[in-house]
Structure 1
Amino acid sequence: MRPGLEPDGTIAREGALSKVPAAYARLLDDARDRIRAAFPAGRLHSAYVYGSIPRGTARAGRSDLDLVVVLREPPSAADRAAADRIEGGLDADFAVIDGVGMLLFDADTLLSELERHDLGFFVACLCTPLLGEDLAAALPRYQPDALLARETNGDIGAALAGWRERFAAAPGEGERAALCRGAARRIVRTGFTLVMPRWGGWTSDLALQAEVFAAYHPSRGDLMRRAAGWARTPTADPAALGLLLFDLGPWLAATYQEVHGPKTPRPAGS
């Protein structure tokens, strides 16, 4: 059986609170308290943590904290402001992390048919419950198939266009490094889901994702491995960004369209 699967062949939830390193326990307790205080009980549905911390692979002082807060109604500007305050406060108070990101959604969106194989998959398989009722109970079991590949990363072309616009704006070194990190992560993950249905398993490990991709596209393998390195240790070198945005990225976007087709369109402004 391929990695990341349950005995029935569906994708297993990859994180768990039992996997969280001891160094992050107080951080998560504090995050729960701040979320409860910021969002009234009648409005807050649930909260999750995702990424390296619940997978047990976080690096103290280098990894970031990734959170999802689910509300019973669509998030407002005031909700976003509250999330921003939590992000800033946790980042300032805990040296064990390097940055905090909090996503806001409403429960109806996450459970919708449109998001079932994108945000729904994200919550059910990539997020670990922190607070409230787990939405995974209302979502299906997921296969590493072409439908999942299309709906998770079939919009890579649109993402690439946005990265190129940011790059053309001639950002400073810090902004270029952040762009490198975000683009490299998405490109590696998209390269993996391009071949995921043929490989037949699941992983969020960037290095393994690059190796799985390289097994099917060896001519692009070395560049994908470099992208995985930049995803973990980003660079501000314009040449590296050029390889991501004008070489590997366009090839990947075109190939993805040929193999899996475009992601189901979302309403304008969503």
Structure 2
Amino acid sequence: MDIQGLDEDGYIAREGSLERVRPEFAPVVDDARERIAAAFGPDRLHGAYLYGSIPRGTALPGVSDLDLLLALHREPTPDDRRAADALEAALDADFPQVDGVGVLLFGTGTLLSELERHDLGWFVACLCTPLLGEDLAGRLPRYRPDSLLARETNGDLALALPRWRERLAAADSDAELTALSRAVSRRLVRTGFTLVMPRWGGWTSDLSVSAEAFAAHYPDHADRMRLAAAVARTPTTDRAVLAALIDGLAPWLAAEYTAVHGEKAPRP
């Protein structure tokens, strides 16, 4: 894989692997594999994946979170969600190496659907590292960093803005503000990157690289995107900073994204 995240044929290469997991996180990953198998079993679980900084080999002990995606044979039920919540809490409590655990749940029908081909399907094939079960990547296409992928991954930013404003208005604790700042800033940086991804000609999950790729094409908005990248690395409780991102950068970015790539196909 070259520095732009593509394979020799110009397709986006899978960015993580179990071989890249740092020794500090290996016990967490091993335990997660065992707990997932015990909690869901072969009748419910089709496969499990890691994603994020741990399989990329860039995680920091005590700072990074553990991100998991579970592909179920059928669509998730409330019982499945409760089991995932219990798994999150147990892993987070038992391993100080990670600062938070998140488990996404999807049915294989959704992950392999035509509607999700260039969003969740791409996410599994390119950003997720197999941990248990069959790898669905073998049943998905290969992907290029083109406008279709840009549209279907982040062409719905405008839908997030009302929710972010509501969360900011309702937040009454530092924990809520920190969580919101992390979510908002990461989404903005990733959206800013995919806006320019076809012109940049590759793929990266590095937030700093993403912000600079954006800045090269939109210098008038570079400072605000660099601010988002800084907040993504070090979340803030400063309401003024959050307001600048949510009411300043985000509306412009959503409008520019639609103008360049169009709107993401509506989901039910």
Give the aligned partner of residue 9 of structure 1.
Answer: 10
* Post-superposition offset of 1:22: 0.6
Give the aligned partner of residue 191 of structure 2.
Answer: 190
Give CA deviations for 1:97-155 in whole Å, capped at 9, x if unaligned: 00000000011110000000000000000000000000000000000000000000001
What are the within-5 Å matches in structure 2 for residues 35-184 of structure 1? 35-184=36-185
Would you identify which runs of 4 or more consecutive aligned residues in structure 1 move more than 6 Å? none
Give the aligned partner of residue 237 of structure 1.
Answer: 238
SS in 1 for 2:67: strand
Amino acid at match of 1:257: T
* Post-superposition offset of 1:171: 2.9
Structure 1: where are the runs of 5+ without partners? none
SS in 2 for 1:40: helix
Give CA deviations for 1:60-92 in whole Å, capped at 9, x if unaligned: 000000000111011100000000000000000
* Post-superposition offset of 1:2: 5.8
Matched positions, count: 267
Q: Contact between 1:45 and 1:107, CA under 8 Å: does it hold in 2?
A: yes
User: Normalization by structure 1: what TM-score?
Assistant: 0.97
User: Normalization by structure 2: what TM-score?
Assistant: 0.98
Give the aligned partner of residue 203 of structure 2.
Answer: 202
Give CA deviations for 1:199-221 in whole Å, capped at 9, x if unaligned: 11000000000000000000111
Give the aligned partner of residue 26 of structure 2.
Answer: 25
Give the 3 Å change call, closer, same or farther, for CA 180–166 of structure 1 in structure 2. same
Amino acid at match of 1:35: I
Please, which moves more after superposition, 152-161 or 171-180? 171-180
Give the aligned partner of residue 216 of structure 1.
Answer: 217
Give the aligned partner of residue 266 of structure 2.
Answer: 265
* Post-superposition offset of 1:254: 0.6
SS in 1 for 2:41: coil
Structure 2: where are the runs of 5+ without partners? none
Q: Is 1:253–2:234 an aligned residue pair? A: no
* Post-superposition offset of 1:222: 1.2
